């Protein structure tokens, strides 16, 4: 299992926090090394080939595989990659886990697609049942790129900058209606190894990939442990690869607290691995509510 040589842990900068709060996302270049890109890309394309053999690709030949660590454990190093994970604990604190994750492979489309409406905020029922305006952030997602999306039209992650504080976006009466992109839609460009950090509330979609470059990415969504995990990870502690994970990685995959609601609510910080890691490094910051014990 790939392990990353961790540099000194550092919080996100004030400038990064300001940009994230303003735009709802930031792009961080060159987070992954060349060897890490190769490991991740090889693992994801291996999952794609397996899904292809098993007849589990989508109608356009694309892969959207949930709970990737369960099927592709070689990607576990991405859970707490120090150059990326710093944004997660800076924004969400220590009492967190990964609740939703997926890997995606989108080969070239050879036929023009209808402009279906795929714009959404992450969070599912949170966006219907929480009454505030704007709704709370609740989760942050990391998007790692393993393909060249440095030009538009390559299946780029597409956002409405600043829309994370807008509860509603005007669109079609139903998703089955062809509809134009919203005004201000921006295709994010990135190189292999780059990272996009985004607020789950930002309105986003994926552009179609008409280029000869296969789109390859991995997405990990983090949230407080008092929100249920959507990923299928309950069986991971029974697998041999579990022993090779760090304690923080085990926490992120739901392996701490033994189903104890009080532990998930954060009542036992001293036995929560990420709390200990941050405390050891002097990174518990009383000016940030989520980093207060």
For residue 72, CA distances in Å to 42, 44, 208 come to 10, 7, 25
- Taking the CA atoms of residue 174, residue 175, residue 179 and residue 184 in that order, the dihedral angle to the nearest 10 degrees is 110
Residue with tokens 């005004």: 183
Interval 123-154: pLDDT, tens = 999 999 999 999 999 999 999 999 999 999 99
Are 172 and 71 in contact by the 8 Å Cβ rule? The answer is no
pLDDT tens digits in sequence order for the chain, 293 residues long: 554 444 569 999 999 999 999 999 999 999 999 999 999 999 999 999 999 999 999 999 999 999 999 999 999 999 999 999 999 999 999 999 999 999 999 999 998 887 888 899 999 999 999 999 999 999 999 999 999 999 999 999 999 999 999 999 998 988 778 888 899 999 999 999 999 999 999 999 999 999 999 999 999 999 999 999 999 999 999 999 999 999 999 999 999 877 788 999 999 999 999 999 999 999 998 888 888 87
CA–CA separation, 197 vs 264, rounded Å? Answer: 24
What CA–CA distances, in Å, run from 70 to 13, 221, 233?
Answer: 33, 15, 6
pLDDT tens across 6-50, in order? Answer: 456 999 999 999 999 999 999 999 999 999 999 999 999 999 999
Alpha-carbon distance of 283 to 173, in angstroms, equals 47
């Amino acid at each position: 299992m790939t392990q990353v040589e961790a540099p000194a842990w550092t919080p996100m900068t004030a400038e990064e926090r300001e940009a994230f709060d303003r735009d709802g996302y930031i792009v961080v270049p060159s987070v992954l090394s060349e060897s890490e890109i190769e490991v991740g890309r090889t693992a994801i394309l291996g999952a794609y080939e397996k899904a292809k053999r098993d007849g589990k690709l989508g109608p356009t030949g694309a892969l959207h595989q949930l709970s990737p660590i369960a099927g592709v454990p070689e990607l576990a190093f991405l859970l707490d990659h120090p150059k990326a994970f710093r944004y997660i604990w800076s924004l969400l604190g220590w009492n967190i886990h990964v609740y939703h994750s997926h890997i995606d492979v989108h080969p070239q489309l050879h036929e023009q697609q209808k402009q279906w409406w795929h714009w959404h905020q992450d969070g599912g029922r949170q966006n219907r049942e929480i009454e505030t305006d704007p709704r709370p952030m609740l989760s942050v997602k990391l998007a790692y790129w393993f393909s060249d999306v440095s030009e538009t039209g390559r299946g780029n992650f597409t956002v409405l900058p600043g829309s994370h504080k807008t509860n509603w976006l005007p669109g079609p009466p139903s998703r089955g209606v062809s509809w134009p992109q919203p005004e201000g839609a921006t295709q994010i460009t990135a190189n292999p190894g780059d990272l996009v950090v985004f607020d789950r509330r930002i309105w986003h979609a994926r552009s179609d990939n008409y280029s000869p470059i296969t789109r390859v990415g991995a997405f990990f969504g983090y949230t407080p442990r008092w929100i249920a995990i959507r990923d299928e990870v309950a069986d991971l502690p029974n697998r041999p690869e579990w022993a090779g994970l760090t304690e923080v990685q085990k926490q992120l995959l739901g392996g701490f607290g033994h189903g104890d609601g009080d532990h998930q609510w954060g009542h036992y910080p001293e036995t929560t691995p990420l709390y200990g890691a941050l405390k050891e490094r002097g990174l518990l910051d009383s000016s940030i509510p989520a980093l207060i014990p």
